[in-house]
Each structure stands twice: as C-alpha cells, then as structure tokens.
Amino acid sequence: MKLKNDSINQVIKKTIVVTPRTSLLDARAILLKHGISRLIVSEKEKPVGMLTEKDLVKAIYRIDAKPLEATRVSDVMSKDLVTVQESATLHDCAKLMLDNKISSVIVLHKDKTLSGIITKTDLASVFLTQATEPLQVSKIMTRDVITVKPADSLLYVESVLVNNKISRVVVERNRQPVGIITHRDFIPAKMPLWLKQSGDPTEVENYRMATNPKEYRSNQLSYLLTFIATDIMTSNPITVDVADDVSNVSLLMIRHGISGLPVVKGNLLVGIVTKTDIVRAIVKN
C-alpha cells in the first residue's frame, strides 16, 4: 500500500520514560493512569530497555517470582531494543515491526539519545489519512481466529495468549464474538463480576487501581483458577464486516484505543483484523 508521505517526522511522539530502578508497582500504576501499553526505560537520556504490558503480565503471574514490591523494572524489561534514526521512513519502521514481531520502534537522535517512539497505532493513523487506494478487510484479515469460551479459567486464557504469542483473544459463544481479552485486562486488580456490574463507581475504581493488589502476592495460581474469562473480558466487542474498508477499521481502532477487531459475516465470527495486519499492508508496497 503506497502512502502519500513516507516520512516518520509526522508521527514521532514523545513517551513516558522510567529508570531501571523504578519499581514494577510504580510502572504498573503509570500504565494504568495514562492508558498506555509500554514504557521506555532510560538512563542519561539513552534508552536501555522497554517494559510492555506483556512483560508486566508475565511478571505478575510467575508463581516463583519475588514479591512485586521488591521487583524493579530492570528485572523484567526487554533489553533487545529495535531503533531507527530520524531519517528512517514509515516503510522502514513497518518492516522492522513485522520482522521483529514488535509493536513499536524507538527513534534516536544522531547522538543515540532518545527522540521518541513510533507505534503500530501511529502507522494505523497514517494508513487512515494517507492510503492512496481502498482496501477491503477480507484482503488482510487473519482467518484462523484463536478463541476461548466465556467460562474458561483465566489460567487457560493466559496460557492461550502466551503459548500462541498473541496480544488478544476473542471470547466466542456459538460462533458469535461476545467478548475480547487482551494483556491489559490482566494488569488491573481484577474484581468479581457482581462488583463490576453493581458496585459503586468509586468502589470499583479503588479496586481496579489498588496500588498493591494483595491477590498478586498471595496465591496467583489460585487466583487464575478462580476467575473466568467473563470476569475480565470486554463485553460486546466492536466488530467489522468482511466487506468494510481498512480505513474504517483504522478509524475505529484509533477512536476506541484498541488494536484488534473481530471480523464478522452476518453475526458469525470469520476472522480478526489487527494493527499488525495494517502494518503488513503498508510493507506490501
């Protein structure tokens, strides 16, 4: 897919930075507060690592891990950084994301200090505004959708995400999408369904944003076995039709802050389209 403007200068953005010594609980609080999915770890203005939602989830649910209050970002961050110079193109960034199976690239000044970051969301926004021709969802979607059932345990859901190396899983009933679960759904303190549905808004928010969630420290395995997909999934997910244009998909993703949408034909699940699929379309110039 050709773009009208291939320069990365139009999408480079600043990002929140933490140090390797930042506690994992503080990093979790920053992710929740700002609704972001990654933090760059920096020392002396140079990036040394990255902490993603996926890294945080893995740290939270490792049974043999040390207590979260004693865990630092440096203990779990990714150190293999993929970077580009400010002279790179959007096509370069898209190809790096696909080749390295990552969702962002770090942009550096000539002196190797941090300039900013470019994410798949940024590439989706570029596709929305600069795609030179229409593209149907059916041309780029993934047809083999990995799904779980509403009553599946969180332990099983987490294993599906980790073992299949995916960032989201569709919850389906009778071939119809009824929910979606991402790594982000595992990060807040989880609450029983009854509290989510009928609790006082202040009580719900306090539960969700607990600064030191006790269930993480006590018995993670028991916790994962106790709760089910219904407890944490986003119900009634936004869907797109196989005949929709990818520009419409990009708009929905950006407007609602999501990275993947179930694709339906009629009411039945036939695929999933993600920002990765949009990035792949950009690479296929």
Task: Check residue 64 and give its pLDDT.
Answer: 57
In the predicted model, is pLDDT for residue 221 greater than 70?
Answer: no
Q: Output the average pLDDT for the chain.
A: 84
Percent of the chain's residues with pLDDT above 70 = 81
234, 181 contact by CB (below 8 A): yes
Q: Which residue has the higher pLDDT, 86 or 67?
A: 86
pLDDT, tens only, 160-177? 998 898 889 999 999 999
pLDDT band at 155 (very low <50, low <70, confident <90, very high): confident
Which band of pLDDT confidence, cut at 50, 70 and 90, is reported for residue 190?
very low
| Distance from the Cα of residue 275 to its chain's centroid | 10
Domains and CATH numbers, the chain: 8-130 (3.10.580.10), 137-283 (3.10.580.10)
